Amino acid sequence: MSDPGMEFPKPNDFDDMKPKGPKFSSERFVVLGLVLFGALFLGLAAELWPKDADLQQLFSLSPFMQVAEPTETDEMRQQIMANLQQGDTEQALLLAGKLIEIDPKVGYFERGRIHFLMKKFAEAENDFSKLIEVSPKDADAYKLRAICRLQLDQRDKALEDAAKIAEIEPREGQLLIGEIHEDAKNYDKAIEAYTKLIEIDPAQIAGYLKRYQAYLAKNDVEKALADANKIVDIQPAQGYILKGDALAKLGKSEEAIKSYGDALGHDPTNATALNNRAYHLALMKKDLKDAERDIAEAIEIAGEESQPAYVDTRGYIAYLQGRFKDALADFNLALDSAEKMKASEEFSAEIFFHRGLVHRKLGEKDLAQKDFDKAKKLGFKWTEEPEPVGGEI
């Protein structure tokens, strides 16, 4: 399975308190909220949301973290953290209320964070509104309120907050405006925001990357390919990977494979490039031994449990080679890992299809049909069922 090179969010200390099934259609903004809380309070942005490194500087520079030496406020915040880790939200809220009397800015932030983690989004939105009254020029405060408003299905109000952020910090504001529109599948408006982001900061990858993704989402692959070429100029390895993905969507498999090779020329240990080249070699049923070496190296670099896409690639190569039991073991592992990592349904759909192929070859018709039905239900489409090129092993 191809991998665009974006890592899944890693687990964090508040997983058991994370809102489940947010009203807003994407969990991205719940993750953003948790990242803000973690980064502003714990400095964990790199661990919680590694795929958006362009946001980390904002988090690390937050005024919430600018403390010269330990104070009564710091001690109360540490106690709030201890209460949250113990699951004692009642005591945490009590301390946050007292903190508001001492330092309203920090206090409203803390109480809003607690309410958010409790899934009390209306209360959190109110706290962050109070925070904005205290600190009207703080872009972080507007961002936190926007996240709450998204959870309350108040998209228009969230966009108002994003527009306010754009006045204070244009780069971050346009990024959030684009992401809100993109999540709502308003791709043209998202592309407009990302284009403004590029105009603000043409030397950075973020705008091109986000616009590339939006173009792909609306199936404008040629324009996505143009953005991938821009990314090549900024970050060659990642750019060539994205270029390869776009070329593959255009049916230009040979060119895609070459592009992944170009990425490896710049970064020989890039596991994503190794995986994607292996998978597209497999799709072409070409040079399976080379594909096998590529995916073995990718998994050695990245590990198995954290990369279900790579394990799926290895399983698919094994299927084509006729090693059905090995393939089945890999597809089972990939699906287990995807579930643990809360991967998207679209991501898992392709693995169900692959596992169905193996069940069919093993004579397990009912299991095969069950997997095919699951893949179809989750949105995976196929026109043919590829046959192995080797005998059963």
Could you please state the CATH topology (level 3) that the domain comprising 1-168 is classified under. 1.25.40
pLDDT greater than 90 at residue 290: yes
What is the Cα 43 distance to its own chain's centre? 19
| pLDDT score at 69 | 62
Q: Please indicate whether the domains covering 1-168 and 304-393 agree at the CATH topology level.
A: yes
364-370: average pLDDT: 97
Note the pLDDT tens digit of each residue in 126-148: 999 999 999 999 999 999 999 99
Whether residue 76 contacts residue 94, with contact meaning beta carbons closer than 8 Å, is answered with: no
Q: Please state the domain extents for the chain.
A: 1-168, 304-393
Give 51 or 297, the one with higher predicted confidence.
297
pLDDT greater than 70 at residue 106: yes
Whether residue 270 contacts residue 250, with contact meaning beta carbons closer than 8 Å, is answered with: no
- CA 316 – CA 334 distance, rounded (Å): 11
| pLDDT score at 9 | 28
Q: What separation in angstroms does the CA of 306 have from each of 162, 267, 270, 299? A: 33, 20, 15, 10
Compute the mean pLDDT over every residue in the chain, rounded to the nearest whole number: 85
pLDDT greater than 70 at residue 21: no
- CA 82 – CA 15 distance, rounded (Å): 15
Note the pLDDT tens digit of each residue in 200-245: 999 999 999 999 999 999 999 999 999 999 999 999 999 999 999 9
22-43: average pLDDT: 44
pLDDT greater than 60 at residue 194: yes
pLDDT greater than 50 at residue 41: no
250-272: average pLDDT: 97
How much of the chain is helix, strand and coil, in % rounded to 5? 75, 0, 25
39-46: average pLDDT: 36
366-384: average pLDDT: 94
Q: Which residue has the tokens 């997983």?
A: 15
Output the CA angle 140-36-21, nearest 5 degrees: 115
| pLDDT score at 54 | 38
What is the Cα 85 distance to its own chain's centre? 25
Q: Nearest to residue 215, comparing CAs of 184, 188, 233? A: 188
Output the CA angle 181-3-7, nearest 5 degrees: 70
Give the whole-number percent of the chain exceeding pLDDT 70.
81
The CATH number that domain 304-393 falls under is: 1.25.40.10
Q: Which residue has the tokens 């903190």?
A: 99
283-311: average pLDDT: 93
DSSP 24-62: SS-THHHHHHHHHHHHHHT--HHHH-TT-GGGHHHHHT-
Q: Which residue has the tokens 């069922």?
A: 385
Q: Report the SS3 class of residue 6.
A: coil
